[in-house]
């Protein structure tokens, strides 16, 4: 192989990579496994282990219930403040608790109630199906005639139809609910522009930042975003099932109501008053006791992201996806693979989706015998996540080389196309 796309070019990129040293801050027991699924479950940062051990031994075992007044009770706000630095939110506008699904339910319900009389909820067919289920469930629950209007795509699901989006917004919907980076194609919305357009028509916005937080610079306050939610076990490396964050802009939070009136979202929960009174600001979106073990693990896990900053992470992420797409063109396109991610760097997040009629079997062969872990999304997409904190250019090169080999040597044919429970 020659020049820019040879394996030695990948090694040269790694040698020049200002973030390369960060990989040593992660627990990586099998160096040979190429992990390209950090967009689904990030690798564990080293500090998490020490922090969790001390949480178990010193805090839980040692301090017992006293732990609540020694850092546990404040954890949703404290960890929220750290994530606020990553997404451009003030400390009183964001907190961490519950799952993305539950936080989305709270945000969508609160937002719809702030726009009585308006019935349209705009989203797109690229959105995570679970997000659409939540919206439809809320519409049914409110029983106020809300309907979901889905924007389509004119290129087979890679990019949304932006003209249709702006027409839908012109019809003055109640709400626009979108994933900042879409989970399959990795399309990246212009969050500020869509928010501005929605506001010009009096609509509110709920952004799902699950696939952008930690890899795309985000400034929720500058964009005047209304609500946002996001996952912390993907690029933020919080660990399986780590709790999500919920953001509500200060002026919006004060006027909004959580649909779940729990004691943690009440003003002074430990007064044990019989009547509910919402806590000030975003704190009303807390519900019950937060998952402290996961929350404290997440707090420790944020260190590498906070230390690098969004601009450097974005620069490396873009370089990785750019390189992956160049390798796709040179080495995979002729083998029946197709690209399902935008080619323009400013239109994509940090993963690249590659289709193939035997996509599922190829992903199984990569995992089964090639030491590469991607993930698979229906109907035929292999998703390759580039986590700028620990993915190297050489790993990208080797993964593409092995994908090529799996198809050229028809190794995938030995694998069944029957799906596992978790793909």
For the chain, the distance separating the N- and C-terminal CA atoms, rounded to the nearest angstrom, is 33
Q: Is 27 exposed, middle or buried (0-12, 13-18, 19+ CB in 10 A)?
A: exposed
Decide: 340 and 353 in contact? Cβ < 8 Å: yes
Residue (292 or 406) nearer to ligand PLP, CB: 292
Q: Does 231 bind ligand PLP (CB under 6 A)?
A: yes
Beta bridge partners of 376: 382
Q: How far apart are CA 376 and CA 183, in angstroms?
A: 11
Rounded to a whole number of angstroms, the minimum distance from the CB of residue 207 to ligand PLP is 10
Residue (65 or 422) nearer to ligand PLP, CB: 422
Tokens of 110: 């609160």
User: Which of 81, 124, 208, 226 is close enough to bind ligand PLP by CB under 6 A?
Assistant: 208
Rounded to a whole number of angstroms, the minimum distance from the CB of residue 201 to ligand PLP is 24
Interacting residues with ligand PLP between 342 and 401 (CB under 6 A): none
Residue (93 or 208) nearer to ligand PLP, CB: 208
Rounded to 5°, the CA angle 209-214-220 comes to 50
Residue (352 or 370) nearer to ligand PLP, CB: 352
| 379 upstream amide cis, omega within 30 of 0 | yes
String of contacts with ligand PLP for each residue 66-105, x by CB under 6 A: ---------------------------------xxx----
Q: Does 260 bind ligand PLP (CB under 6 A)?
A: no
Rounded to a whole number of angstroms, the minimum distance from the CB of residue 244 to ligand PLP is 6
DSSP string computed for 352-407: EEEE-TTHHHHHHHHHHHS-EE-EEETTTEEEEE--TTT--HHHHHHHHHHHHHHH
Q: Does 423 bind ligand PLP (CB under 6 A)?
A: no
Q: Does 285 bind ligand PLP (CB under 6 A)?
A: no
Nearest C-alpha neighbor of 363 from the set 336, 383, 379: 383
Q: How far apart are CA 213 and CA 232, in angstroms?
A: 8
Rounded to a whole number of angstroms, the minimum distance from the CB of residue 118 to ligand PLP is 24
Q: Does 179 bind ligand PLP (CB under 6 A)?
A: yes
Q: Does 210 bind ligand PLP (CB under 6 A)?
A: yes
Q: How far apart are CA 402 and CA 364, in angstroms?
A: 12
Evaluated on CA atoms 219, 225, 226, 227, the torsion sign reads: negative
Decide: 19 and 388 in contact? Cβ < 8 Å: yes
Q: Does 123 bind ligand PLP (CB under 6 A)?
A: no
Residue (133 or 276) nearer to ligand PLP, CB: 133
User: Which of 124, 131, 375, 401 is close enough to bind ligand PLP by CB under 6 A?
Assistant: 131
Nearest C-alpha neighbor of 373 from the set 43, 133, 62: 43
Q: How far apart are CA 307 and CA 216, in angstroms?
A: 15
Give the binding range for ligand PLP (CB under 6 A) out of 84-92, 205-213, 357-365, 377-385. Answer: 205-213
Evaluated on CA atoms 332, 337, 341, 343, the torsion sign reads: positive
Nearest C-alpha neighbor of 149 from the set 176, 128, 131, 110: 176
Q: Does 183 bind ligand PLP (CB under 6 A)?
A: yes
Give the binding range for ligand PLP (CB under 6 A) out of 14-22, 126-134, 169-177, 395-403. Answer: 126-134
Number of Cβ atoms within 10 Å of the Cβ of 129: 10
* Active site (catalytic) residues: 128, 208, 233-234, 383
Give the binding range for ligand PLP (CB under 6 A) out of 127-135, 156-164, 199-207, 288-296. Answer: 127-135
Residue (115 or 180) nearer to ligand PLP, CB: 180
Rounded to a whole number of angstroms, the minimum distance from the CB of residue 108 to ligand PLP is 12
Q: How many residues bind ligand PLP (CB under 6 A)?
A: 12
Give the binding range for ligand PLP (CB under 6 A) out of 2-10, 66-74, 203-211, 290-298. Answer: 203-211
Residue ranges of E strands in 57-215: 94-96, 120-124, 147-151, 175-179, 204-208
Number of Cβ atoms within 10 Å of the Cβ of 411: 19
Rounded to a whole number of angstroms, the minimum distance from the CB of residue 206 to ligand PLP is 11
Rounded to a whole number of angstroms, the minimum distance from the CB of residue 52 to ligand PLP is 20
String of contacts with ligand PLP for each residue 136-155, x by CB under 6 A: --------------------
Residue (251 or 378) nearer to ligand PLP, CB: 378
Decide: 381 and 184 in contact? Cβ < 8 Å: yes
User: Which of 13, 35, 72, 128 is close enough to bind ligand PLP by CB under 6 A?
Assistant: 128
Residues that bind ligand PLP (CB under 6 A): 99-101, 128, 130-131, 179, 183, 208, 210-211, 231
């Amino acid at each position: 192989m020659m020049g820019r796309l040879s394996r030695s070019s990948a090694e040269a990129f790694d040698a020049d990579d200002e973030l390369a040293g960060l990989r040593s801050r992660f627990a990586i027991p099998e160096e040979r496994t190429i992990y390209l699924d950090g967009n689904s479950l990030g690798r564990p940062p080293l500090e998490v282990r020490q922090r969790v051990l001390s949480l178990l031994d010193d805090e839980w075992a040692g301090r017992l219930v006293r732990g609540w007044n020694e850092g546990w009770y404040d954890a949703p706000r404290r960890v929220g403040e750290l994530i606020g630095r990553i997404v451009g939110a003030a400390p009183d506008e964001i907190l961490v608790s519950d799952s993305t699904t539950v936080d989305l339910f709270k945000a969508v319900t609160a937002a719809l109630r702030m726009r009585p009389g308006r019935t349209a909820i705009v989203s797109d067919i690229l959105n995570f199906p679970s997000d659409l289920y939540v919206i439809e469930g809320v519409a049914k629950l409110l029983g106020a005639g809300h309907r979901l209007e889905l924007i389509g795509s004119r290129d087979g699901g890679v990019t949304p139809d932006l003209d249709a989006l702006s027409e839908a917004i012109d019809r003055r919907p109640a709400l626009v609910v979108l994933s900042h980076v879409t989970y399959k194609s990795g399309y990246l919305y212009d969050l500020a522009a869509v928010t501005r357009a929605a506001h010009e028509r009096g609509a509110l916005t709920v952004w799902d930042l699950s696939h952008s937080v930690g890899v795309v610079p985000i400034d929720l306050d500058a964009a005047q975003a209304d609500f946002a939610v996001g996952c912390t076990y993907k690029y933020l490396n919080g660990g399986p099932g780590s709790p999500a964050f919920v953001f509500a802009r200060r002026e919006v939070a004060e006027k909004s109501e959580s649909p779940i009136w729990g004691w943690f979202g009440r003003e002074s929960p430990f007064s044990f008053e019989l009547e509910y009174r919402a806590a000030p600001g975003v704190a009303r979106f807390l519900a019950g006791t937060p998952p402290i073990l996961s929350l404290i693990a997440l707090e420790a896990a944020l260190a590498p992201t906070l230390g690098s900053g969004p601009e450097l992470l974005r620069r490396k992420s873009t370089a990785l996806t750019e390189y992956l797409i160049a390798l796709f063109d040179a080495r995979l396109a002729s083998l029946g693979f197709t690209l399902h991610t935008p080619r323009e760097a400013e239109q994509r997040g940090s993963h690249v989706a590659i289709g193939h009629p035997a996509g599922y079997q190829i992903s199984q062969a990569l995992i089964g015998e090639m030491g590469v872990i991607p993930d698979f999304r229906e109907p035929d997409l292999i998703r390759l996540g580039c986590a700028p904190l620990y993915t190297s250019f050489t790993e990208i090169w080797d993964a593409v080389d092995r994908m090529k080999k799996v198809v050229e040597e028809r190794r995938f044919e030995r694998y069944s196309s029957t799906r596992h429970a978790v793909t």
